Amino acid sequence: MEKKRRSELLNKGWEESEIKRAEAILEKEEHHDVFFSKMVFWSAALVIIFANLLISLILIPFIVVFDNLFLYIIVVLLAATVGFLYNFLITDIGHLEKKHHIIAGIITPLLALGNMIVMVLVSNRFIEKSNVIKNQPHNPYLLAVFFGVAFILPYLIDRLRKFLRNK
C-alpha cells in the first residue's frame, strides 16, 4: 500500500494490524484476478486461432471461384471481422502484462498468415486439378499479407488510440 494511503488510514484511526490485514486481502484478490485473466487470455487466444482456421476453411470456395478484386474484398472483410473479435477479446482482459500483448500482437497474426498461405496453396492445387474451373492460381503470400494486415489492423488502431489518449 502507498505510504500516503497508509498514513491516511492511520490518521482515521486504523490499527497497523488492520492495515496489514487489508493489504493481504487486496493482494490475494489481485493474485486471483491475474490468474483468471491469464486463463481468459489463453482461452481467447485459442478461440481466435480456431476462428482463423474456420475463416480460412470458409474462404477456400471463394479462393477457388473468385479472382482478384472481389476475392481481396472478401478476404479483407472476413479478416477484419475476426480482427475485431480478436481485439475485443484480448484488450478487454484486465491484469495482462506487456508480454501478453506482445504475444497477442505477434504470434496470433503469424499463425493467421501461415494458415492463410496453406489454405491458398490447397485452393490453388484444387484449381490446377479441376477441369471445370478456369481460374488462375492465386499468389498465397499476397493474399496472406492482405489477410494479416486486415486481421491485425483493429488491434493496432486500438493500441494507437489508447497510446494517444494516455499521452
pLDDT per position as a tens digit, 77-107: 999 998 888 888 777 665 566 777 677 777 7
**Angle at 32 (CA atoms; ends 28, 38), nearest 5 degrees:** 145
Predicted local confidence at residue 33, as pLDDT: 65
Residues 6+ apart with CB under 8 A from 137: 124, 127, 128
Query: Can you give the pTM of this predicted structure?
Result: 0.69
- Nearest-5° angle of CA 107, CA 92, CA 106? 10
According to the model, what pLDDT value does residue 150 have? Answer: 92
Tell me the pLDDT band of 10, cut-offs 50, 70 and 90. Answer: confident
